[in-house]
Each structure stands twice: as C-alpha cells, then as structure tokens.
C-alpha cells in the first residue's frame, strides 16, 4: 500500500512537494485555506481539505485543524515545507504524538536547533567554529556585564536565544548603550518568544552569508551538497542565491564541511538541513542551523543533480536510499532569483490578479512556481510568487542566462521585482561577486 502524504503548506513549495510525491508513487492530500482555492497543486493532489479561513493563524498555523485533516484523510506523514510550522518543535511533537510522521528531523532536534544557544553549543562540540562571544546567563550586575562586553570587544550584537532569522537582535557600538540595549532586547524577546534568554557575540560587520546544505539519515550516514551564497538580501529576505559560493578559502571550507557532517552524525540528524555561516576574511562563523527545506534548495539540486525534496520524503518514510558523498558530483553554477509580487522600488506587496503571464524556459532554465494566467495572488501570505533558476558552466554564463530568462518572463496585472533583478544582475559589484549582506540595502539602493 502506498503511503499518503499531507502537504501542510501552500504555493510553490506545496507544488514542489507534490511533484516529488508523484515521482515516488505516494498519495497526496493538499490542505488549503479558503483564501487559496485556486492554488495549482490542489488540482493535482489526490485529495484536498479546506482547513480554515484565509488568515494563516486559523489555517496554515492551526495545528489542531491540520492534525484533524490528517486524521480525516488517514495520512501517514505530514510535509511542512518552509515558513508556517516547518520549524515549530511543538508541531513536530504533536505530529509524532498523533502517530503521523513529521517529514523532518525529530522534534527533539528541531527544539534543540530552535534554541540558538543550544545550537551554538552543539556546533562547538562538533568543532564547528562559531562567533566569539558569551552565552552563559547574562549577570544582573552592570559592571560584570560591561566586563564581559569589553572582553568580546565592541561592536557586539545581543541576540535572543529563541530568536533567529534576524528576529530579536540588537547591535551595541559602545558601553554606554549596553545596559539599555540589553533591557530592550530582553523585553522584546519576552514579548515575541515568551523567553528572554540572551547571548552576546562579536558583531561581524560586512560578512557574506554562506550556507551548507546537508542530508542525513539519522543512522550514521550524512552527506553535504556544498555551499550556497545568499548575501544578496534585504531585511533578512534573500533575493538572489547561488551555488556554489565562490572565492572561499578551500582549506577552511574542507574543514567546515567535515565538521558539519560530524554534527549530523553526533546529533543523529535525520532529514535535510542547512548550517548558516557568516564568512569574512577567510573565516567561517556558524550562526544558526535550519532544520527545514529552504526556498533556495534548487540551486544545490542543480549543481549536484540530487533531488533534496525526494530525499526528505525517502528518509522520513524509511524508503531505501544510499547517502554516499562519493556519489555527489558538483558541476557548474546555479543562480536563483526570487520573484515577488511587490513594488520594485518601495517593496510594498502587490497582490492581485495576474492577467497574463509567460514562464521562461530553455536549456538550463528552471521555473518553480504555482502561478498561471488568471491566478489571483492573495494578500494574506508571503509575496514570493516564483523562483527562476538558471544553471550553466560558469557564474558568468548563469548571469547571462538569467538575464535572458528574465526577458522572457512576464506577469502583468500585478507589480513584481522583475526590474530589480535586471538591475542587480547587471550591477558591477554583483557581477564581480564582491557584494556582502549589507550591499543591497546600502550602496546599491543608495545609488
Ligand atoms: C550576526 C551578524 C553580525 N555579527 N551575528 C541575521 C539573521 C540571523 N540569522 C543572524 N544575523 C546576523 N547575525 C554577528 N555576530 C549579522 C547578521 C545579519 C545577517 C546575517 C545573514 C544574512 C543577512 C543578515 C542581515 C543583517 C544582519
């Protein structure tokens, strides 16, 4: 009997997951909110269940509603995708407790990595370099705290242990701002996460954001699919990602990759995951680990030919698969442009009807999207509507191919960031691969 997967997400990643299920002869249940009746993957799924109103709090974030849909359809496993409940340890735990397979690592590992202090400690135990700082209990005594901060050296960054992805952090440049910054960050962390535990790090000023994709089976086998460079971002939203990251010190990369695999083995990691690093002056600094599939996974797939989503399903369902690093062959380069329904200058979301659209195509062009002519982009969710991925032998030819793909692609009726991508791909700093995490919001937009 073939297993049944409930896809607990929407948009392009729900479609991506559905395609992978079909290839593995798995049955599918697509859940949707009442604001999402026109989603493409609903027409392709074996069963569909409306789980609530358009408001994500009442649908895609509504755990009882999702578990009811899984009961009702007798699903075996739940695919969380990214965003929504993908890294919610309570959700993973409740799936497990209700007898459903959570397609991802164990709720224990999701919880450990969700706590950024614990994540850092686990990384250090497996010899992964982290940002120098302080992660004990922050003392009440002001002189003590000041001592700790000056030992690290200003500027420092205060982070909430329950934060991550850019939430709950504050940079402190001098001692007279330290105490008030701690109080502010603590209060914000308490309000946002119900947990006010903080830690300190040296603030890395102009790093690149490099990440490593791993795949592990929880049984002593782990492989990596190399690096991605995700430095082109605005307000913690990545805009362009590529694989592999170029101009990385080969010796330190080799060490880091090995340490990442050691971590996976040490914590019995099961599923796919991403270790995030800041990279500056030939040094890697681990910051966080994501225990989910990421938006930018296609660029790693394109340079390895390894289907990351299929691997998630196979590992979680205990299907036969081998994870052998020797079988992973890296070839060429890949770039992804995230197409958002938003104003290219103000970045204000622009939902509405896509009156007409044409996807790009051709050799080395991949279009991961749920949109079609006549589709209405709802206002309730993330504004990303498509991902264009190009693959070629070199970074330079990838950029050329992307410019051509962007020329082909159009979606009228809504505003998109199409023109921003065209500008970025012709930008000298980007073309020379000299941008860092501050470039887009800083030098580029101030031009
Ligand atoms: C930092 C940092 C500089 N120094 N930590 C932001 C998201 C979260 N994952 C960690 N982040 C940062 N941590 C130290 N010690 C700068 C950032 C940061 C950042 C990191 C990656 C990608 C984009 C970013 C944008 C602003 C700040």
Which CATH number characterizes residue 184's domain? 3.30.1490.20
Beta bridge partners of 288: 276
pLDDT score at 295? 98
Contacts of 108 (CB under 8 A, 6+ apart): 89
- Cα torsion 129, 130, 132, 137 to 10°: value is -130
**Same structural domain for residues 272 and 312?**
yes
pLDDT score at 79? 99
pTM higher than the cut 0.85: yes
- 78 CB under 6 A from ligand 1? no
Reference 262, options 227, 228, 300, 220; nearest CA is: 220
**Same structural domain for residues 171 and 283?**
no
**Same structural domain for residues 404 and 422?**
yes
Structure token digits, residue 107: 């709720």
**Same structural domain for residues 219 and 185?**
no
**Same structural domain for residues 279 and 410?**
yes
**CATH code of 8's domain:** 3.40.50.20
**Same structural domain for residues 264 and 299?**
yes
**Same structural domain for residues 196 and 227?**
no
Distance, in Å, from the CA atom of 131 to the CA atom of 203, rounded to the nearest integer, reads 8
User: Is 107 contained in some domain?
Assistant: no
Residue closest by Cα to atom 21 of ligand 1: 209
Q: Give me the DSSP letters along 63-124.
A: HHHHHHHHHHHT-SEEE--SSTTTT-HHHHHHHHHTTPEESSS-HHHHHHHHSHHHHHHHHH
Q: Among 157, 275, 444, say which to mutate for ligand 1: greatest number of ligand atoms within 8 Å of CB.
A: 157
Q: What is the residue whose two structure tokens read 């249940």?
A: 29
How many Cα atoms within 13 Å fall on the side-chain side of residue 128?
28
pLDDT score at 388? 99
Per-run averaged pLDDT (10 residues), the chain, 447 residues: 96 98 98 98 98 98 98 98 98 98 98 97 98 91 96 97 90 97 95 95 98 97 98 97 98 97 98 98 97 98 98 97 97 98 96 98 98 98 98 98 98 97 98 98 93
**Same structural domain for residues 345 and 308?**
yes
Domain span at residue 167 reads 132-202
User: Is 121 contained in some domain?
Assistant: no
292 noted as active-site residue: yes
Last residue of a domain, one of 171, 202, 233: 202
User: Is 124 contained in some domain?
Assistant: no
**Same structural domain for residues 427 and 356?**
yes
Are 76 and 101 a contacting pair, CB within 8 Å?
A: yes
Beta bridge partners of 410: 358
Q: Among 149, 169, 185, 288, say which to mutate for ligand 1: greatest number of ligand atoms within 8 Å of CB.
A: 169
**Same structural domain for residues 197 and 340?**
no
Are 160 and 185 a contacting pair, CB within 8 Å?
A: yes
Are 364 and 299 a contacting pair, CB within 8 Å?
A: no
* Coil, strand or helix at 173: coil
**Same structural domain for residues 238 and 256?**
yes
User: Is 127 contained in some domain?
Assistant: no
Is the Cα torsion angle 146, 149, 153, 155 positive or negative in sign? negative
User: Is 60 contained in some domain?
Assistant: yes
Structure token digits, residue 352: 């509405």
Number of structural domains found in the chain: 3
Task: Give the CA distances from residue 293 to residues 254, 272, 275, in Å, rounded to whole numbers and listed in that order.
Answer: 23, 7, 12
User: Is 116 contained in some domain?
Assistant: no
User: Is 115 contained in some domain?
Assistant: no
Reference 416, options 444, 446, 375; nearest CA is: 375
- Given the residues 10, 111, 292, 401, the one annotated as active site: 292
**CATH code of 415's domain:** 3.30.470.20
Last residue of a domain, one of 202, 225, 252: 202
pLDDT score at 117? 97
- 336 CB under 6 A from ligand 1? no
Beta strand pairing status for 133-134 and 198-202? antiparallel
User: Buried (b) or exposed (e) across 94-108, using 16+ Cβ within 10 A?
Assistant: bbeeeebbbbbbbbe
pLDDT score at 22? 98
- 201 CB under 6 A from ligand 1? yes
Last residue of a domain, one of 202, 226, 247: 202
User: Is 289 contained in some domain?
Assistant: yes
**Same structural domain for residues 413 and 264?**
yes
- 166 CB under 6 A from ligand 1? yes
* CA-163 nearest atom, ligand 1: 8
Are 185 and 288 a contacting pair, CB within 8 Å?
A: no
pLDDT score at 183? 95
């Amino acid at each position: 009997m073939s297993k049944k997967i409930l896809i607990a997400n929407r948009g392009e990643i729900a479609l991506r997951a559905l395609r992978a299920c079909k290839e593995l002869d798995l049955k599918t249940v697509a859940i949707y909110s009442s604001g999402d009746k026109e989603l493409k993957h609903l027409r392709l799924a074996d069963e569909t269940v409306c789980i609530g109103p358009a408001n994500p709090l009442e649908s895609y974030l509504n755990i009882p509603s999702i578990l009811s849909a899984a009961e009702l359809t007798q699903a075996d496993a739940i695919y969380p995708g990214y965003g929504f409940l993908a890294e919610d340890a309570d959700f993973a735990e409740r799936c497990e407790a209700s007898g459903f397979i959570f397609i991802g690592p164990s709720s224990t590992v999701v919880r450990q990595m969700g706590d950024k202090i614990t994540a850092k400690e686990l990384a250090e135990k497996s010899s992964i370099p982290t940002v120098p700082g302080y992660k004990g209990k922050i003392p009440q005594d002001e002189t003590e705290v000041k001592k700790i901060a000056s030992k690290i050296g200003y500027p420092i960054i205060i982070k909430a242990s329950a934060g991550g992805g850019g939430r709950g952090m504050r940079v402190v440049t001098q001692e007279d701002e330290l105490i008030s910054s701690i109080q502010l960050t603590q209060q914000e962390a308490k309000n946002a996460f119900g947990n006010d535990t903080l830690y300190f790090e040296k603030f890395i000023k102009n790093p690149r954001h490099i990440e490593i994709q791993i795949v592990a089976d929880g049984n002593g086998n782990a492989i990596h699919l190399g690096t991605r460079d995700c430095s082109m971002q605005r307000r913690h939203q990545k805009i362009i990602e590529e694989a592999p990251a170029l101009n990385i010190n080969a010796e330190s990369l080799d060490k880091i990759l090995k340490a990442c695999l050691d971590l996976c083995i040490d914590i019995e990691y099961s599923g796919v995951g991403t270790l995030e690093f800041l990279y500056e002056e030939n040094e890697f600094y681990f910051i966080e680990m994501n225990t989910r599939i990421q938006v930018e996974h296609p660029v790693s797939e394109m340079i390895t030919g390894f289907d990351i989503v299929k691997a998630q399903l196979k590992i979680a369902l205990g299907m036969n698969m081998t994870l052998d690093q020797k079988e992973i062959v890296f070839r060429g380069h890949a770039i992804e442009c995230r197409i958002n329904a938003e104003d290219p200058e103000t970045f204000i979301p622009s939902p509405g009807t896509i009156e007409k659209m044409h996807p790009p195509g051709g050799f080395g062009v991949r279009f991961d999207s749920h949109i079609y002519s006549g589709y209405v982009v709802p206002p309730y969710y993330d504004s990303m509507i498509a991902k264009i991925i190009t693959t070629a032998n070199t970074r330079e030819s990838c950029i050329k191919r992307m410019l051509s793909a962007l020329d082909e692609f159009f979606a009228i009726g809504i505003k998109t960031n199409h023109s921003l991508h065209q500008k970025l791909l012709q930008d000298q700093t980007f073309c020379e691969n000299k941008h860092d995490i501050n470039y887009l919001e800083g030098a580029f937009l101030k031009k």
